[in-house]
DNA sequence: GACAAAATTCAACAAATGTTGAAAACTGGG
DNA sequence: CCCAGTTTTCAACATTTGTTGAATTTTGTC
């Protein structure tokens, strides 16, 4: 049996949709392209998922809960390992980001595609608010609460703006546009997730501390 | 004469395409929608710009050079105002970012739409490399040279990764997704560019200094 | 193996898409 | 006014789009 056919046809449709939506966006992909890549009849996508938009949502939801659990677990772990004053800013950022790196390095390339799709959604003026808020904000709020504790006296507004910067830096990393490869003439690679996060974490932590600490 | 009809039809097509492409991406917009918003016949877009993709490029190019000039001017000004050791990291970041804020606050809303389009392109795995590299990398390289001087002893690789984080934070700001509005329960607003940049500049500067300074 | 249910294929649909060619309207010098 | 050149409109085209309903095959259960 062909390697591409080990998974069920339903899963193969999700896999194909995940990769293509991440690359070209919702409107840049046709059901027929998805069906072709999944080696499946066109009508099967509608049968399993309904409208195109519902397929899109199904792709988004498939890994969203898994991700939320992993990140929550990372937060709880770093909190339990710290004393009563709570974890440091850097530890919190690390708990927020490392689970993503882990999945991007997962043997299943679907995770890499999925996170690129999340980047597309998060950066979109029309999809961003709706989908991201609904499924990720509860978790984000928990991280922000932890950050407030680690940054006593910080203005709430400042913390949100810092989170905005964190979210942007992360989003571009997830998108894997390959632009840094070209700009740095090969010195850095979009696919080198380890390097990306190793640089991102202290970068972001320093930003929080500078902006959220009274002078 | 109607306000929407003061500009030439050719310009109105560019204006409409700019706004709609920024909102929905290249494939999410039809020539007919653009023509309708511009109050213009459908065939006129093809007559003036050729293929849909050429119209997209025309929109991108219209303001790219203007932007490059403004940012270069800002860099040269801050360099001329500093001594022989060159401007500080924060001054360089400020020169890189403030011209964008200025244009986002321009009375012409076209600039706001244009910069959201740049965000869309920069975050896209397929458009990002091609368009952004071609038209913005020469300028970016000049800023990076200035940063190298301001961060003596820093590893080149580290500077590029820091720039990557800067680019991401900026991109999300340009995209104006409105997500921070919801997350912060109205405390922060995506359209409050002044606040966004006032927080972004020290945040980014601190990140550079932490990552690119030997311990 | 019979048989109901689920999965899959096939064919077709109406609507929407980018693009074009010919006709018409407008423009500014002579 | 004339008329060449540009701009604009109109109508039409071949494709492609998402979706559906009926027919066929596969699956699991007794």
**Residues of chain A with C-beta less than 8 angstroms from the C-beta of B119:** 123
pLDDT per residue as tens digits for the range A65-81 = 999 999 999 999 999 99
Residue A215 pLDDT: 64
Q: Do domains B1-50 and B63-212 have the same CATH topology?
A: no
Q: How confident is the model at residue A37 (pLDDT cuts 50, 70, 90)?
A: very high
CATH of A63-212, one of 3.40.50.150, 1.10.357.10, 3.30.465.10, 2.40.128.260: 1.10.357.10
Coil, strand or helix at A214: coil
- pTM, entire model: 0.93
Q: Which of the 8 DSSP states describes residue B132?
A: I
- Chain A, 48 to 107: residues with Cβ < 8 Å from chain B are none
Nucleotide nearest to A48 (CA to C1'): C7
pLDDT at A136 > cutoff 60:
yes
pLDDT per residue as tens digits for the range B74-100 = 999 999 998 888 999 999 999 999 999
Instruction: Give first-to-last CA distance, chain B, whole Å.
Output: 65
Q: Do A188 and B22 touch (CB under 8 A)?
A: no
pLDDT per residue as tens digits for the range A201-215 = 999 999 999 999 966
Query: HEC profile for B29-66?
Result: CCHHHHHHHHCCCHHHHHHHHCCHHHHHHHHHHHHHHH
Measure the CA–CA gap between A174 and A140, rounded to whole angstroms: 17
Flag whether residue A208 sits within 8 Å of chain B, measured between CB atoms: yes
Domain B1-50 CATH superfamily: Homeodomain-like (1.10.10.60)
Q: Pick B211's closest partner by Cβ from A124, A203, A209.
A: A203
Burial per residue of A146-182, b for 16 or more beta-carbon CB atoms within 10 angstroms, e otherwise: bbeebbeebeeebbbbbbbbbbbbbbbbbbbbbbbbb
Measure the CA–CA gap between B198 and B195, rounded to whole angstroms: 5
Q: Do A175 and B123 touch (CB under 8 A)?
A: yes
Q: Are A197 and A170 in contact (CB under 8 A)?
A: no
HSE (side-chain half, CA atoms, 13 Å) at B46: 7
Measure the CA–CA gap between B173 and B170, rounded to whole angstroms: 5
B117-120: list long-range contacts, CB under 8 Å, 24+ apart: B117/B18, B117/B21, B117/B22, B117/B59, B117/B60, B118/B60, B118/B171, B118/B174, B119/A123, B119/B22, B119/B171, B119/B172, B119/B174, B119/B175, B120/A123, B120/A124, B120/B21, B120/B22, B120/B25, B120/B175
Mean pLDDT over all residues of chain A?
Answer: 94
What size, in residues, is chain B? 215
pLDDT per residue as tens digits for the range A193-202 = 999 999 999 9
Greatest Cα pair distance in chain B: 65
Query: Position of tokens 């690119």?
Result: B212
Domain boundaries along the sequence of chain A: 1-50, 63-212
Give the distance, in angstroms, between the CA of residue B42 and the centroid of all CA atoms in the same chain.
29
Can you give the distance from the CA of residue B29 to the C1' of nucleotide C24 in angstroms?
Answer: 29
Residue B214 or B175, more confident: B175
Measure the CA–CA gap between A138 and A142, rounded to whole angstroms: 7
Angle between helices A31-38 and A42-49 (to 10 degrees): 100
Query: Position of tokens 């924060």?
Result: B90
Can you give the distance from the CA of residue B10 to the C1' of nucleotide D14 in angstroms?
Answer: 28
Q: Do A164 and B182 touch (CB under 8 A)?
A: no
Residue A133 to residues A139, A182, B69, B182, Cα–Cα distance (Å): 10, 33, 37, 7
Residue A83 pLDDT: 82
Q: Are B115 and B193 in contact (CB under 8 A)?
A: no
Residues with Cβ within 8 Å of residue B97, at least 6 apart in sequence: B170, B197, B200, B201, B204
Q: Pick B123's closest partner by Cβ from A24, A123, A157.
A: A123
């Amino acid at each position: 049996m062909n390697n591409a056919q080990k998974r069920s046809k339903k899963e193969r449709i999700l896999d194909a949709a995940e990769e293509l939506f991440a690359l070209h966006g919702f409107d840049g992909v046709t059901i027929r392209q998805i069906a072709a890549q999944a080696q499946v009849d066109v009508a099967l996508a509608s049968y399993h998922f309904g409208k195109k938009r519902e397929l899109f949502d199904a792709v988004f939801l498939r890994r969203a809960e898994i991700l939320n659990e992993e990140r929550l677990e990372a937060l709880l772990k770093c909190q339990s390992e710290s004393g009563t004053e709570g974890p440091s800013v850097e530890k919190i950022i690390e708990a927020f980001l490392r689970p993503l790196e882990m999945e991007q390095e997962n043997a299943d390339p679907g995770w890499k595609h999925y996170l690129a799709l999340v980047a597309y959604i998060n950066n979109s003026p029309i999809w961003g608010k709706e989908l991201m808020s609904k499924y990720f904000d509860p978790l984000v709020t928990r991280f922000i609460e932890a950050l407030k504790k680690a940054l006593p006296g910080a203005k709430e507004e400042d913390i949100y703006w810092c989170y905005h910067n964190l979210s942007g830096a992360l989003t571009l990393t997830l998108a894997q546009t390959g632009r840094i490869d070209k700009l740095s003439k090969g010195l850095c690679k979009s696919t080198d997730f380890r390097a990306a996060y190793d640089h991102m974490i202290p970068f972001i932590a320093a930003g929080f501390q500078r902006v959220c600490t009274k002078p």
